[in-house]
Amino acid sequence: MQLFFEEQINGEVFTLSDKESHHLVKVLRKNIGDTVLFTNGKGSFFTCMIEENHPKKCKLKIIEQDFNPQEKFHIHLAVAPTKNTDRMEWMIEKITEIGFDEITFLKTTHIERSQVNLERLTKKLIAACKQSFKAWLPQMNEITPFEEFVADKSFETYDRYIAYLDKENTQHLMQLAKPNLSYLILIGPEGDFSPGEINLALEKGFKACSLGKHRLRTETAGLVAVHTLNLVNL
């Protein structure tokens, strides 16, 4: 069954927006009495029946609701956005399929792009959740200066890492991370973090980690980090 997304599901009966109504009624040709599956991105799956198949105000009735609790671990990826937005969209899609909880974009010394289109990336996020049948929509945060982010005391209880390529930084994330924790991992731009940024992160309590012997593109590093932390929690 195809999964649909509607953030505002209140009460036993709810009405879809013009866009979603058109998609359900005109594109997919759903009729009155058909059942469809929705998520609100907050842990719930709703099995719904179409009561009115109006192309602009499709009305649905909830006939069953299932709640999926979140995992015991939490993954927060903080990454410098790539110059090519397609590569960042690809990463968002793939790490959503694998499973993560939150992403923050970092403004670093060697940053390639100082702004991100959060609206477009959120659409990619929602599409990936629907494709992979995820009940929880990851949180996406505004771009934040590196220095401000690593100094944020709200992350002090997290298992914190900064990934970078260096011949002396040989301990892989897989070796360092323990299961069932809240993780925060920093991924730099194509030019990597500056020495000053690395030193600042280490001073603030982040641990250095490797993602392998070879240099990775930013989006590949983000994918490897998320996948590794999921493997740690199998």
The domain covering 3-67 belongs, at the CATH homologous superfamily level, to Hypothetical PUA domain-like; domain 1 (2.40.240.20)
Can you tell me the mean pLDDT for 56-83?
A: 95
Q: What are phi and psi of 184, to 5 degrees?
A: -130, 120
- pLDDT of 169-181, one tens digit each? 889 999 999 999 9
Enumerate residues 6+ apart whose C-beta is below 8 A from 27: none
pTM of model > 0.85:
yes
Q: 152 vs 105, 145, 189, CA distance in Å?
A: 14, 11, 21
* Mean pLDDT value across the chain: 94
The whole-number pLDDT of residue 156 equals: 94
The whole-number pLDDT of residue 107 equals: 95
Weakest mean pLDDT among 22-31, 72-81, 177-186: 22-31
Q: Which part of the chain is CATH 2.40.240.20?
A: 3-67
The domain covering 74-232 belongs, at the CATH homologous superfamily level, to SPOUT methyltransferase, trefoil knot domain (3.40.1280.10)
Binned at pLDDT 50, 70 and 90, residue 234 comes out as very high
Binned at pLDDT 50, 70 and 90, residue 47 comes out as very high
Binned at pLDDT 50, 70 and 90, residue 20 comes out as confident
- Please check the confidence at residue 1 and state whether its pLDDT lies above 80: no
CA pair distance 224, 232, nearest whole angstrom: 12
Weakest mean pLDDT among 82-86, 110-114, 227-231: 110-114
The whole-number pLDDT of residue 112 equals: 80
- pLDDT of 141-165, one tens digit each? 999 999 999 999 999 999 999 999 8
- pLDDT of 72-107, one tens digit each? 999 999 999 999 999 999 999 999 999 999 999 999
Angle between helices 85-98 and 118-131 (to 10 degrees): 30
CA pair distance 70, 182, nearest whole angstrom: 12
Q: Quick one: three-class SS letters along the chain?
A: CCEEECCCCCCCEEECCHHHHHHHHHHCCCCCCCEEEEECCECEEEEEEEEECCCCCCEEEEEEEEECCCCCCEEEEEECCCCCHHHHHHHHHHHHHHCCCEEEEEECCCCCCCCCCHHHHHHHHHHHHHHCCCCECCEEEEEEEHHHHHCCHHHCCCEEEEECCCCCCCCEHHHHCCCCCEEEEEECCCCCCCHHHHHHHHHCCCEEEECCCCCCCHHHHHHHHHHHHHHHCC
Q: Which part of the chain is CATH 3.40.1280.10?
A: 74-232
The whole-number pLDDT of residue 169 equals: 80
The whole-number pLDDT of residue 89 equals: 96
The whole-number pLDDT of residue 170 equals: 83
